[in-house]
Chains A and B, each alone.
Chain A
Amino acid sequence: MSRSAFCSSGSNLVPKTTEALNPLNRPKKHHYLNGRQRTNLYQKNHRASKVLAYYGLRSPPYKLDALEPYMSQRTLEMHWGEHHGGYIDALNKQLAKNDLLYGCTLEELIKVTYNNGNPLPEFNNAAQVWNHDFFWESMQPGGGSSPILGLLQQIEKDFGSFTNFREKFIDAALKLFGSGWVWLVLKREEKHLAIVKTSNAVNPLVWNDIPILNLDMWEHAYYLDYKNDKAKYANVFMNHLVSWNAAMARMARAQAFVNLGEPKIPVA
């Protein structure tokens, strides 16, 4: 019944940085006059100081009008302010009532509440918060073009060519039924890149894969700018919005966890 049991039973690949800060987790070694009394006092104090916000709304790494004319300021204001902000508020409200989930990192929370396919009510909000954080960072003003160096090599290895990858990605976006996301992921087991479609709030973290890029295909992401023209939105994303810088950084980090083979070192 302790919350730390809940969270640490999740993936052990996620760094548990918050546990050190969590008051409930500090070892009860010193300063006790009467051990039991001290603990009770401690717990009482914790409940007395009600924590009202567990996760905060992170801003996109650019101003809300920076993606014009490809993604309007109005869309960013609605999508980030209302939708993304709404998920944060809803999540904080749910966590206020649920002591068991306190203290998880967002990624741990997603894996725990996914519950192997039978999601708890917090899953939708937690996953959507993460998905949107990831989405803002997957775009940049002046984005588009193509990756270089290692990521480009890996894409060419796994998809044949960058053009082929781009076609498959956009095709996935158009073939998605209903609300969802399209991802470029690095699959941990298979050790290669893949394009994955997910419904609603699901993301590849629940299968322990490493996301490199995502594209929001919920209608609210493009309706104000493109109405029902999904093809135009997906193409604009690829041509003008996608941040290969972010993707390359994530790929570099991913390689700390997934061995993609020896680099080709030329023999002298």
Chain B
Amino acid sequence: MALRTLVTRKALGNSVAFRQQLRGLQTHTLPDLPYDYGALEPAISGEIMQLHHQKHHQTYVTNFNKALEQLDDAINKGDSPTVVKLQSAIKFNGGGHINHSIFWKNLAPVREGGGEPPKGSLGWAIDNHFGSLEALVQKMNADGAGLQGSGWVWLGLDKEMKRLVVETTANQDPLVTKGSSLVPLLGIDVWEHAYYLQYKNVRPDYLKNIWKVINWKYASDIYEKECP
């Protein structure tokens, strides 16, 4: 009986997703972009969008699934050293998946509202906290340009204090690593792969131009949900 299950399992192929689902593990998949690769030109080139989505994000998803499967194994076997050892791979690849999933929603083509400044309660909160939208943009650009190595610059909402914050995280650390009550509203990827082919080493130009395709509607929606 056990032998039969073993045989059928092997015959059904080695797909990671199938194996994981057999165990009840949630698999993650690459989300589709809500726009074409070239739709964000000239702020971000189609070449970058395609590589970023199909190669970088996909790699994070694949490795995240692999790490989760290994983690599940280790937990079931009670292998604590492996469980702990896998944490950095999960943080990196899982963080990469989370961050990029938010990032695609943070961007929108100009004709779909990309670059339009926020209205409503988020716009008011920004003016209240930072003085003006320009001041916020300047702060995020300065922090993003000054970030050494790879990472992200975030506009977040502290949902307990009901305050907006600007934070940076290193590598693929999600915003929650800077505070458990922080909710990401906007994230800008400042890893070199996000801009190098187009802007080369001039990160400040990339940061200046990306605001033209930022999707403030998404940020407003999240904000209004957390701060009704």
Does residue A86 face the partner (Cβ distance < 8 Å to B)? yes
Q: Given A86-B201, A228-B55, are A178 and B192 also a contact pair (CB < 8 Å)? A: no
Residues of A within 8 A of B88 (CB): 177
Indicate the member of A124, A201, A219, A224 with the most B CB atoms within 10 Å: A219
CA distance A83 to B148 in the complex (A): 13
Cross-chain contact A219 with B200 (CB below 8 angstroms): no
Give the residue name and chain of the A residue nearest to B196 (CB).
A223
Does residue A57 face the partner (Cβ distance < 8 Å to B)? no
Q: Which of under 10, 10 to 19, 20 to 34, or 35 or more describes the interface residues of A?
A: 10 to 19
Does residue A199 face the partner (Cβ distance < 8 Å to B)? yes
Cross-chain contact A219 with B51 (CB below 8 angstroms): no
Cross-chain contact B150 with A179 (CB below 8 angstroms): yes
Give the residue name and chain of the A residue nearest to B58 (CB).
A228
Does residue A154 face the partner (Cβ distance < 8 Å to B)? no
Does residue B149 face the partner (Cβ distance < 8 Å to A)? yes
Does residue B19 face the partner (Cβ distance < 8 Å to A)? no
Give the residue name and chain of the A residue nearest to B202 (CB).
A82
Residues of B within 8 A of A228 (CB): 51, 55-56, 59, 193
B107 to A: closest C-beta gap in Å: 19
Residues of A within 8 A of B51 (CB): 227-228
Cross-chain contact B201 with A178 (CB below 8 angstroms): no
Does residue A53 face the partner (Cβ distance < 8 Å to B)? no
Question: Which residues 184-199 of B sit at the A interface, judged by CB distance below 8 A?
Answer: 191-193, 196-197
Residues of A within 8 A of B192 (CB): 179, 218-220, 223
Residues of A within 8 A of B201 (CB): 78, 82-83, 86, 220
Residues of A within 8 A of B171 (CB): 177-178
Does residue B92 face the partner (Cβ distance < 8 Å to A)? yes
Give the residue name and chain of the A residue nearest to B91 (CB).
A177
Residues of A within 8 A of B210 (CB): none
B63 to A: closest C-beta gap in Å: 10
Residues of B within 8 A of A86 (CB): 201
Cross-chain contact B148 with A219 (CB below 8 angstroms): no
CA distance A155 to B171 in the complex (A): 32
Residues of B within 8 A of A200 (CB): 148-149
B143 to A: closest C-beta gap in Å: 15
Does residue B170 face the partner (Cβ distance < 8 Å to A)? yes
Q: Given A78-B201, A86-B201, A178-B170, are A224 and B149 also a contact pair (CB < 8 Å)? A: no
Which of A82, A201, A219, A224 meets B191, CB within 8 Å?
A219
Cross-chain contact B196 with A220 (CB below 8 angstroms): yes
Does residue B172 face the partner (Cβ distance < 8 Å to A)? yes
Question: Which residues 55-80 of B sit at the A interface, judged by CB distance below 8 A?
Answer: 55-56, 59
Question: Which residues 117-149 of B sit at the A interface, judged by CB distance below 8 A?
Answer: 148-149
B residues adjacent to A (C-beta < 8 A):
51, 55-56, 59, 88, 92, 148-151, 170-172, 191-193, 196-197, 200-201
Some 16 contacts from A to B, beta carbons below 8 A apart, are A177-B172, A178-B171, A178-B172, A179-B192, A200-B148, A201-B149, A218-B149, A218-B192, A219-B150, A219-B191, A220-B192, A220-B201, A223-B192, A223-B193, A227-B51, A228-B51
Top 3 nearest A-B pairs by Cβ distance?
Answer: A178-B171, A219-B192, A200-B149
